[in-house]
Every structure is written in structure tokens, then in C-alpha cells.
Amino acid sequence: MFTYRGALLGLPVSHSLSVYLWGRMAQRCGHPLVYTRVSALKPPRLSEIFERLRLDFLNVTSPFKAQLQGQLAEVAPAAMRLGCVNLVVRHPKGLAGYNTDPAGVSYMLQDAAKEEVGDCGVAAQPGTPERLFVVLGAGGAAAAVLYVLTQSARRAIVLSRTRAHAEELAARFGCAGYDYLSIPEIPAQSVLIGCLPPGSSVPELPWRRFSAVYDSTYAHSPIRPLAERFSLPYTGGYDWLAGQAQEGFRVVYGAMLVMDEGFYVQPASLGGVPVYVGKRDASPSSGNDTVVLWADTDLEFQQIEAYEKAAAR
């Protein structure tokens, strides 16, 4: 039987549950899968990664989502609209880029009926059209959230540490952007959607004005402790991760795999300890518990290894 070969590219990747999700999906559909994690300090050459690891597809996470389009032969409409890719697939005519995050956002915010928009399944959002959605962050995750919110004409604002970043992203989706020092009055019953990476600082917010908190992060979230302190309903990013992985499976395998509710329950532990291998040692035999350190120098290798070991704790 044909064995698919996939990988996750990012920094860090040791903590990622993508290997777990893709392994479960491959098991469900009966296709063998070899899935490797690749960690790098700088944007790598995709052609080299695909050739060295003999990949069929590559998942992409922070910080490389917005840095790879120039290496692609084709970019899907959603990825073009968002300006970043999180999935690269090998096709006969070259590498094609997709963004499945809207499907993940849609699944996480699934309180209303689903509808098809563009090349990703997205859903209308919870609450009434008058409810304000406060998007915290101005990166690729925030763009995916705004992409989905605008499909159902929801009111939204963007908050970012840097005003220019907030305003630039907000302008793309027809809303307003603010920095942390100029946050406007937040109406009661608003919804906060956090799109901050682990380790980020969180601004002073009127937490009691929020009715619910959603999060793009499923590990080491900077906003979860605050949501819990104010006893707010909190939804972490695992549903987002699982929803976008399911959409990625559809793109790669060509069919939507129907999962039961148990599939969306985050595992208590991945199990196993990542085995770090160097770029020179990378091969198609690299397995699910490996992290390939895509480094050109010994110093880069040491920096990546230290970063990954810290993230894996």
C-alpha cells in the first residue's frame, strides 16, 4: 500500500500535536504515514526539504507561514487572501500552497450552522451580528479569524502591540485596529479571540466585559490564566488544530474523513521523547518521534536543539 510522507515545519515543533492528529487520521483511513517534524531558524528551501525527506506534503506553522509563497508554483485562493500558507502539497506541476486555518477557526467557533465559503469550509459565528469580536494579535492566526468573521458580517476589532500592524490587518478586512495603549470601550457580552503565541505579553483588558474567550493556542497559552481568573468560558486552540488538520487531510488525501467527537479530545500526552537528528542525517526513515534540525552550521544546530528541548518540556 502507498505510504504517504509528511512533515511539520516550524520553530518550535517538539511540542506539536500535529504528529498525533495526522497519525490518527492515517490510521482511520488505512494509509501508512511517515510524519517528521522539521525545526529551522530561517526559511528553508522547500524543494530541498521535499527532496531530502521525499515528502508528499508539508504542514507549516509559526514563524514560516508568511515566508514561503515565493517558492510555490500555485497558491490556493484562501492562502492568497490571507497572505500565508500552512500546507504545501507536491503536485505534478510543482508545489502548491493552501491555508486550512479558516476551517479550524470555523470548527472552534461552531455555534451556528455551517456554510461553504471559498476553498475552505467555514461557519457563521456564535452570538448575534451585533456582538463585538475582539481579535487579540495581528499575525497569520488573527488574519484567519477575521477571514471567517467577515463571511458572516460579524463586527470585529483588532488589538496589537504595534498600532501599524493592527491597522494594516484590520484594513484588509474592513474593521478597526488599535494598539494596547488606545483600546476603545468594549461593550458587554463581547467575545475575545486570542491569537498570541506562547510567551507573549497580554494587555490590560476589561475581562468582565467578555462573555467567552477563544484561543488559537493549545499549549502554554498567555491568555488562558486570565480567562480562568475571571471565570470566563474558555475554548483552547486544540479544536482549531484538529479542524484545520481535517481540512488538510481532505486536500492531501482527496476525501473528507469523518471523525467522531473523541477525535477532538486533546490527548493527555503524546508519549515518546523526540529524537533530534541533523539535516545531514535527514532521510525518509525519520519517524514520528524525530525532530530534524534543519541547520547549516553547528551554531544553528545548537541553537535549534536548545530551543526545541525547552519547548518539549
pLDDT tens sequence across 243-261: 999 999 999 998 788 878 7
Query: Alpha helix locations (H) across the chain?
Result: 18-29, 46-53, 77-82, 101-108, 140-151, 163-172, 224-229, 238-253, 298-312
Q: Model's pTM, two decimal places?
A: 0.87
Three cell numbers at 148?
A: 471567517
Q: What percent of the chain has pLDDT over 90?
A: 72
User: What is Dmax (Cα atoms) for the chain?
Assistant: 59
Active site residues: 65
Residue 257 Cα distances to 114, 193, 244, 252, angstroms: 17, 27, 12, 11
- pLDDT at res. 126: 45
Task: Report how far residue 235's alpha carbon sits from residue 247's, in angstroms, rounded to the nearest whole number.
Answer: 20
Please say whether the beta carbons of 6 and 58 come within 8 A. yes
Three cell numbers at 251?
A: 486536500
- pLDDT at res. 114: 37
- pLDDT at res. 1: 65
pLDDT tens sequence across 127-157: 455 789 999 999 989 999 999 998 888 899 9
Which band of pLDDT confidence, cut at 50, 70 and 90, is reported for residue 110? confident
Length of the chain: 313
Q: Which of 2-6, 67-71, 271-275 has the lowest mean pLDDT?
A: 271-275
Higher pLDDT, 31 or 69: 69
pLDDT at position 293 over 90: yes
Domains in the chain, CATH or no CATH each: 4-99+271-312 (3.40.50.10860), 103-239 (3.40.50.720)
Task: Report how far residue 213's alpha carbon sits from residue 187's, in angstroms, rounded to the nearest whole number.
Answer: 14
pLDDT at position 162 over 60: yes
Please say whether the beta carbons of 149 and 110 come within 8 A. no
- pLDDT at res. 210: 96
3-state DSSP helix/strand/coil percent for the chain, to nearest 5? Answer: 35, 25, 40
